[in-house]
């Protein structure tokens, strides 16, 4: 868990506690309906004004945290889906090696074998990515070909 995750956890717990305290203080301050007309009610007390100010500050802070967390959660989901997709493509490499009967060493040394394996690899990857929940790319075929180049580059070095 990195520092940012710790901060988000701390901030969410803090906001939750502040909301509970605010709700508890408002629940304790509830009174019965006034019998006297509105014009004869006394002016607001300092405690009422302070509690309204605290509620406004907590609301603004909560709005900030919620807006920031929406972006953070969307970014984390996108990153997680990318990592899941890369794992599927890596696994499809080994499945394509099994299907074609070649070894990884042969693929890395012979261009003709590499081309044959890449076609099979692309077919397997695309079929598996279609079944991967939450995985969306505008052009999945181009993305898979890019990942194939990255994976083969890492394996060759």
pLDDT of 117: 92
94 is in which domain, residue-wise?
3-30+40-156
User: How far is residue 152's CA from residue 96's CA, in Å, rounded to a whole number?
Assistant: 13
User: Tell me: the pLDDT tens digits for 68-81?
Assistant: 889 889 899 999 99
Closest CA to 132 of 89, 68, 95: 89
Let me know if residue 20 belongs to a domain. Answer: yes
Let me know if residue 87 belongs to a domain. Answer: yes
User: Tell me: the pLDDT tens digits for 126-135?
Assistant: 999 998 888 8
User: Tell me: the pLDDT tens digits for 62-71?
Assistant: 998 888 889 8
Q: How many domains does the chain have?
A: 1
pLDDT of 104: 87
User: Tell me: the pLDDT tens digits for 25-54?
Assistant: 665 555 555 555 556 666 778 888 888 899
Position 143 pLDDT exceeds 90: yes
Structural contact between residues 58 and 50, judged by C-beta atoms closer than 8 angstroms: no
Q: How confident is the model at residue 24 (pLDDT cuts 50, 70, 90)?
A: low
Closest CA to 118 of 96, 99, 140, 101: 96
> Within a 10 A sphere around the Cβ of 85, how many other Cβ atoms?
22
User: How far is residue 26's CA from residue 58's CA, in Å, rounded to a whole number?
Assistant: 14
User: Tell me: the pLDDT tens digits for 82-94?
Assistant: 999 999 999 999 9
Helix (H) or strand (E) holding 89: helix 46-100
What tokens were used for 76? 């984390």
What tokens were used for 39? 């014009």
Position 22 pLDDT exceeds 90: no
């Amino acid at each position: 868990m990195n520092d940012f995750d710790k901060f988000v956890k701390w901030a969410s717990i803090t906001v939750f506690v502040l909301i509970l305290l605010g709700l508890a203080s408002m629940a304790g301050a509830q009174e019965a309906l006034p019998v006297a007309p509105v014009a004869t009610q006394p002016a607001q007390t300092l405690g009422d004004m302070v509690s309204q100010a605290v509620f406004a500050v907590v609301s603004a802070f909560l709005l900030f945290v919620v807006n920031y967390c929406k972006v953070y959660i969307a970014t984390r989901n996108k990153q997680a889906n990318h990592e899941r997709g890369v794992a599927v493509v890596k696994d499809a490499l080994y499945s394509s090696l099994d299907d074609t009967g070649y070894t990884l060493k042969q693929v890395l040394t012979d261009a003709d074998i590499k081309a044959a394996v890449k076609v099979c690899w692309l077919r397997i990857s695309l079929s598996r990515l279609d079944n991967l929940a939450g995985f969306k790319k505008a052009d999945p075929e181009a993305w898979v070909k890019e990942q194939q180049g990255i994976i083969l580059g890492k394996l060759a070095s």
